[in-house]
């Protein structure tokens, strides 16, 4: 019986919160990991150090995924180090709040670049290798913005709807060639990225969740681990909602 080849995962926005939890979860599962961060190299290096404790290789690839050139460079660094990227997790995102009538062109372009276009450029960079070996996993992130539409967050809602469309399209295009593409839609998740973090803010979210609490980054990471593991091989083109039962 042949051994399972060593797999490599590239995770964007991996320096904290959900991205950090995904990175460490995949490292625990035996994946070598590429840790992407945009500005805080110390945080990314700390996550890489934690990942290495599981006995895997971990490298940091800093870059702004909102810049197409940076996406190409991040992917190139991963490929140069490991020769392939088996798993791509497009986690990095911006969620600015601004009244629609006050949105400037640059506001709109920036959210689209980070929340939607980064998934396009990074997928283009790593899919050829996945297709060559006949195995690959892409996990995108949508969110409740992509389901409800939020007042004051039109660019985020539009971008996340785009990610859902991209996910379904790529799943159909590449599913027959061993590559699955799925999306995760987190609900309220308690993490170091909460903004604002007041009790009133948290309670406003918890009130919408039948589970009666906010989720954790590790609970989101657990779904990613399932999707990219053997048990997720027949899950393709889906949006998995990790939201404690919040109405969608």
For 19-46, write each residue's pLDDT tens digit: 999 999 999 999 999 999 999 999 999 9
Q: How far apart are CA 105 and CA 103, in angstroms?
A: 7
Mean pLDDT in residue range 68-79: 97
Tell me what pLDDT residue 188 has: 87
Residue 41, in any domain of the structure: yes
What is the three-class DSSP state of 119? Answer: helix
Residue 247, in any domain of the structure: no
- Alpha carbon distances (Å) from 191 to 167, 203, 212, 215: 26, 14, 16, 9
Residue 122, in any domain of the structure: yes
Torsion of CA 82, 85, 91, 96, to 10 degrees: 80
pTM above 0.85, yes or no: yes
CATH number for the domain harbouring residue 159: 3.40.50.720
Across the chain, where does the E strand assignment appear?
A: 8-11, 32-35, 58-60, 87-90, 136-141, 179-186, 239-242
Give the pair of three-digit tokens for residue 76: 């190139």
Backbone angles phi, psi at 185, to 5 degrees: -115, 95
Residue 1, in any domain of the structure: no
Q: Compute the mean pLDDT over every residue in the chain, rounded to the nearest whole number.
A: 93
Report pLDDT digits (tens) over 164-223: 999 999 999 999 999 999 999 998 898 765 544 455 656 777 887 898 888 999 999 999
Residue 2, in any domain of the structure: no
- Full residue range of the structural domain in which residue 54 is found: 8-241
Residue 206, in any domain of the structure: yes
Domain count, the chain: 1
Report pLDDT digits (tens) over 142-161: 988 777 888 899 999 999 99
Residue 178, in any domain of the structure: yes
Tell me what pLDDT residue 77 has: 97
Tell me what pLDDT residue 1 has: 42
């Amino acid at each position: 019986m042949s051994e399972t080849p060593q797999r490599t995962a590239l995770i964007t926005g991996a320096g904290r919160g959900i991205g950090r939890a995904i990175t460490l979860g995949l490292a625990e599962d035996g994946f070598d990991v590429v840790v992407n961060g945009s500005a805080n190299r110390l945080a990314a290096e700390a996550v890489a150090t934690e990942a290495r404790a599981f006995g895997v290789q971990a490298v940091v690839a800093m870059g702004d995924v909102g810049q197409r050139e940076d996406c190409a460079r991040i992917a190139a660094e991963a490929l140069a180090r490991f020769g392939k990227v088996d798993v791509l997790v497009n986690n990095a995102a911006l969620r600015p709040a601004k009244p629609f009538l006050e949105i400037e062109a640059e506001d709109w372009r920036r959210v689209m670049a980070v929340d939607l276009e980064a998934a396009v450029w990074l997928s283009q960079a790593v899919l050829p290798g996945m297709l060559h070996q006949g195995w690959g996993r892409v996990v995108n992130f949508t969110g409740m913005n992509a389901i409800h539409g939020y007042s004051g967050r039109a660019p985020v809602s539009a971008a996340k709807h785009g990610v859902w469309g991209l996910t379904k399209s790529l799943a159909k295009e590449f599913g027959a060639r061993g590559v699955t593409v799925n999306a995760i839609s987190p609900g309220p998740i308690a993490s170091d990225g909460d903004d604002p973090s007041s009790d009133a803010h948290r309670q406003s979210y918890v009130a919408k969740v039948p589970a009666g609490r906010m989720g954790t980054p590790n609970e989101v990471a657990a779904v990613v681990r399932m999707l990219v593991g053997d048990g997720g091989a027949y899950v393709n083109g889906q949006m998995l909602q990790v939201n404690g039962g919040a109405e969608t």
